[in-house]
């Protein structure tokens, strides 16, 4: 499981059903399992997303490593795009905060 900081003041954009809508935009289909949102896309066999308070976005993934390069590239692009929209931080900013 990975935990990502949510940018200050950004939680309002993912609160309620907004996070589910963002996941549908990125991964096309989403189902709700309790408080967690579950989807799949490309090399992501399963992605589970939920928030811990207003400051942390939790993400669990199960990857299929036996996909072609095009699928892998598209999956990484969509995943990073989703994380950027959900956390308010770019990939570069998330990497810097993780250190």
List, in order of start, the domains of the chain with CATH numbers: 2-98 (3.30.310.190)
Name residues of the chain where pLDDT drops below 70. none
Query: How confident is the model over 44-53, as pLDDT tens digits?
Result: 999 999 999 9
Is pTM beyond 0.75? Reply is yes
User: Which residue from 17, 14, 4 is spatially nearest to 59, judged by alpha carbons?
Assistant: 4
Distance CA(42)–CA(7), nearest Å, equals 27
| The pLDDT value given to residue 97 | 85
> The dihedral of CA 59, 62, 91, 97: what is its sign?
positive
| The pLDDT value given to residue 90 | 93
DSSP assigned state of 13: G
Helices (H), the chain: 18-27, 69-87, 91-98
Alpha-carbon distance values, 43 to 1, 29, 71 (Å)? 17, 15, 7
Residue 60: other Cβ atoms inside 10 A: 13
């Amino acid at each position: 499981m990975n935990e990502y900081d949510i940018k200050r003041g950004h939680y309002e954009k993912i609160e309620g059903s907004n996070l589910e809508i963002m996941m549908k935009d990125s991964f096309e289909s989403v189902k709700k399992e309790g408080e967690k949102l579950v989807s799949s896309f490309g090399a992501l066999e399963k992605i589970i997303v939920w928030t811990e308070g207003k400051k942390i976005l939790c993400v669990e993934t199960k990857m299929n490593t036996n996909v072609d390069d095009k699928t892998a590239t598209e999956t990484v692009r969509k995943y990073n795009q989703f994380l950027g929209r959900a956390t308010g931080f770019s990939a570069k900013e998330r990497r810097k905060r993780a250190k």
